[in-house]
Structure 1
Amino acid sequence: MATITPTAPEEATAQSAALSPDYKNYTSPLVVVTLLFFMWGFITCMNDILIPKMQHVFKLQFWQAMLIQTAFFGAYFIVSFLYFLLSTTKGDPILKIGYKNGIIIGLIVAALGCTLFYPAAILHSYSFFLMALFVLASGITVLQITANPYVAILGPPQNSSSRMNLSQAVNSFGTTIAPIIGGYLIFDYVASADIDSADSVKLPYLGLAALLLLIAALIKIARLPRLEGTGKIETGAGAVKHRHLVLGIICIFMYVGAEVSIGSALINYIKLPHITGLTESEAKHYLAFYWGGLMIGRFFGAIALSTIKRLGKFIVIVFITLVTFLTVYFLYDLEQALIILGLIALNLAVLLLARFIPNRTVAFFAIAVIGLLLIGVLAEGSLAMWAIIAIGLFNSVMFPTIFDLAIKGLGRNTSQGSSLLVMAIVGGAIIPPLQGLFADLSGNLQLSFIVPMLCYAFIVYYGFAGYKVRRT
């Protein structure tokens, strides 16, 4: 059975299935590990900056530029699959080396990938860039496999969904600010006078490499509890014997695919004459609302699914809502701020209906998304646009909560199950083309949102029934 073994020798060892009731010492480790979520969110969203840059530098067709995402998300699938095969034959490597060491390895590999951007720019080789991205994403995949379940065990089991949502909210903050900072660095501050040069990516990615190594050093010296195995290391595909994990893998595949698909189609959807007819430049900030909603919703989810007293939850949620309202008001206008306020109220109403229960929250939010997609398919004008944008708020808790539900009760197979769940992120590379194909064949982009709608139907099932811990 896996145990939580504190790094400091004077601290007592506790069983991972029944942690010590004193969790106050886990606050600092949780803060340190949460930095990882910010970093991989920031790095992942940097791809959106690289695509137009590489397309211009190497005179690429659009599909060629999109190979950036293929190289990046392909690593999730390949590395996770190899990890799973290794764990079935040699035993779970994370249980052998410890979660802390696994995180450090992931950071070092990711830093190596960032460093490879320098020779790629010197050699002016797009293929080299793709290789660097694959190495970088391989390191992030290891972080996903280790850090997600690690956050789940850093505290009371009943609060694991809250911790996962908080970490993912920080991840969403990274995706929100990456286009601003990354775009400024690559396109403005360090950009070469020669616009056809790839040299402007050198400094930003070397800076990321240094930051990743710094975090690795901090984690090395930090007093972090370490999940490790005791006794014989088991082999075999023990994780897949758990029915709720297998269904959770499908659920993660569906969720990530639907989330990415909606975000990818949003600007073109907004541009439709019968929706708003806005230009790409005008439509971009509405995409920020979609992803920003993901971040706000995850903060709400972290609070709602925590053990904070009801009055405390109310105060914090009101504060976040007020900050969001004022931010939109000062950056845009009162009308849009009031619309966002209304969408937040709708989100909180559904959260109350779910009674703050993790699996019910997933199911109710998925039902809400299906309703919003129906409006987006059948309605026109601003109503249709805001319905699709509001999906970001309801997407918020799904990934971390589904992940947490899927790894419950896995015991020694936790990291093996985690690798399979991370592998399912490949849905983000498969569902969007299917929606695009539907739109091409039907000639109707609006109607193509039926594809992600089917994905959310499965998520409803998982939230109501599929999450239940049973062995196949």
Structure 2
Amino acid sequence: MQKKQAPNYTFALIVMFAVMFLIGFITTMNNSMIEFCKEAFGLKDSQGQLVNTAFYGAYALSIPLGMMMNKIGYKKTLLLGLAVVGIGFVINYFGISSLLGMETSVIYSVFLGSMFIVALGIVMLQLVANPYVMVLGSPEKGAFRMTLSNALNSAATTVAPVFITYVIIAGKAKTPDAVPGPYLGLGIFTLILCVVLFFMKLPNINEEQQAEEEGGERKEYKSSVFSYAHVWFGMLGIFFYLGIELGVPSMLPAYFKSNPELAAYGTATDFLPYYWGGMMVGRFVGAAILNKFKPRRILSICLCCGALCVAASFFLTGIASVWAMLAAGLFHSVMWPLVFNLGLQELGPHTKKASGIINLGVVGGATLPLLMGWIVDNPALGVGYAVAMMFIYYVYVFWFCNFGSKIGLSKK
């Protein structure tokens, strides 16, 4: 019997890689505006972190949005996500522009509300991108495809802070009227992309049928995605991973503020591209070596090395401690795709819903930096205690990698 020819998913993967770039750019652009917003609106550290809370808080709706995706499919969810992102940016621009002259607290509330709308669209795009990239090809290469797509995501996270620093806010007074400008262009671009993709054909994947064709036999799945323990542990893995990824860039401004001698080297924003650049390099390297080493081994090594970099920052002084923290980005790079991949194992028809559950963990980006911001604002604690919180996050993700992700899976 002649073996069925494997379908060509090249175009669909290119689309998903472009979407991952857009997700990375918008997410990091949002995070990079925190310091600017703090001065524009006269905010404390904890209030500034509300930008992250509004953005990542939208991921609390991941499960119902994942169920929606299970009903309407990948393409419609992709188009809806792009439309919501574009609309959110347009609301941001016109909403803030129409309120200039009013209390800054009112304008800041509109800013946070519009970014929550943008984040809802990003959640939908994230829900599509991760499982869709996983199923666009053989399961064995799933981690490789996810790492490569996240490498392009990291390229965007590297470009975004540079774009913000040298193009968007360079030379501008830090006032509320300077805030909405960057977002209108992104909104228009996103809406145009949505219209273009509406007329393009993307493959519809049946995960259960694909698994049978790959494995050569019919596999029995549990009746509900909620019965898979490793999915829930994976959700918590993403929750704590967000604390790891955002811990350094969110705390770096406070670290510079608590160490005035660092002002001679520039601002925290000047150094952020090195962190995101390290993540970009790490993901491209990770994509290259994933074909040679097991994902769990790579993730374990990266967790240990990342924790060592953060630990070194406590023992070093001056600019050396900053570089130690920035170096952690190189090892944080592959954690998202590997944690996500481990959480999506052996799910077949439950893959879409499981993506919603795991994405729920992104609320860690809304809660953990905010918690760290409160610690920074507490005079009895400070930025050192806030950064030390990251070790708790490392420990859990290490446990999930080596133990939690194996619970309930078939032994191979």
With normalisation by structure 2, the TM-score equals: 0.83
The 8 Å contact of residues 186 and 200 in structure 1, kept in 2 or not, is answered as no
1:358-381 CA distance string (max 9 Å, x none): 111111211222333332234445
State the secondary structure of the residue aligned to 1:29: helix
User: Take 1:43 and 1:121, find their aligned partners in 2: how far apart are those partners?
Assistant: 18
User: Take 1:205 and 1:161, find their aligned partners in 2: how far apart are those partners?
Assistant: 33
Q: 31, 38, 55: which is aligned to 1:72?
A: 55
1:318-368 CA distance string (max 9 Å, x none): xxxxxxxxxxxxxxxxxxxxxxxxxxxxxxxxxxxxx52111111121122
State the secondary structure of the residue aligned to 1:226: coil
Percentage of matched positions with identical amino acids: 33
Counterparts in 2 of 1:466 and 1:276: CA distance versus 1, 3 Å = farther
The 8 Å contact of residues 270 and 278 in structure 1, kept in 2 or not, is answered as yes
Mapped pair 1:22 → 2:6:
yes
1:302-451 matches, within 5 Å, as 302-306=287-291, 356-381=293-318, 384-436=321-373, 440=378, 443=381, 445-446=383-384, 448-451=386-389
Mapped pair 1:254 → 2:240:
yes
Counterpart position of 2:180: 201
The 8 Å contact of residues 98 and 228 in structure 1, kept in 2 or not, is answered as no
Counterparts in 2 of 1:113 and 1:165: CA distance versus 1, 3 Å = same
Which one has more relative contact order, counting CA pairs under 8 Å at least 6 apart? 2
Pairwise CA distance, 1:255? 0.9
User: Take 1:140 and 1:251, find their aligned partners in 2: how far apart are those partners?
Assistant: 20
Counterpart position of 1:467: 405
The 8 Å contact of residues 346 and 409 in structure 2, kept in 1 or not, is answered as no
Counterpart position of 1:167: 149
User: Take 2:98 and 2:318, find their aligned partners in 1: how far apart are those partners?
Assistant: 48
1:414-442 CA distance string (max 9 Å, x none): 12111122111111232234445556476
The 8 Å contact of residues 21 and 156 in structure 1, kept in 2 or not, is answered as no
1:215-294 matches, within 5 Å, as 215-228=193-206, 238-269=224-255, 277-279=262-264, 281-294=266-279
The 8 Å contact of residues 372 and 386 in structure 2, kept in 1 or not, is answered as yes
1:205-259 CA distance string (max 9 Å, x none): 232122212222332333321135899xxxx992221121111111111111122
Counterparts in 2 of 1:170 and 1:200: CA distance versus 1, 3 Å = same
The 8 Å contact of residues 31 and 51 in structure 2, kept in 1 or not, is answered as no
1:161-181 CA distance string (max 9 Å, x none): 111111111111212212332
With normalisation by structure 1, the TM-score equals: 0.73
Counterparts in 2 of 1:67 and 1:437: CA distance versus 1, 3 Å = closer
Counterpart position of 2:82: 107
Count of residues in Structure 1 that have an aligned counterpart in Structure 2: 388
Counterparts in 2 of 1:27 and 1:411: CA distance versus 1, 3 Å = same
Mapped pair 1:46 → 2:29:
yes
In structure 2, stretches of 5+ residues that fail to align are 100-106, 210-221
Counterpart position of 1:311: none
User: Take 2:48 and 2:162, find their aligned partners in 1: how far apart are those partners?
Assistant: 20
Range 49-58 or range 420-429, more displaced: 49-58
Query: Which amino acid is the alignment partner of residue 83 of structure 2?
Result: I
Counterparts in 2 of 1:442 and 1:404: CA distance versus 1, 3 Å = same
CA RMSD of aligned residues (A): 3.1
Q: 20, 23, 30: which is aligned to 1:37?
A: 20
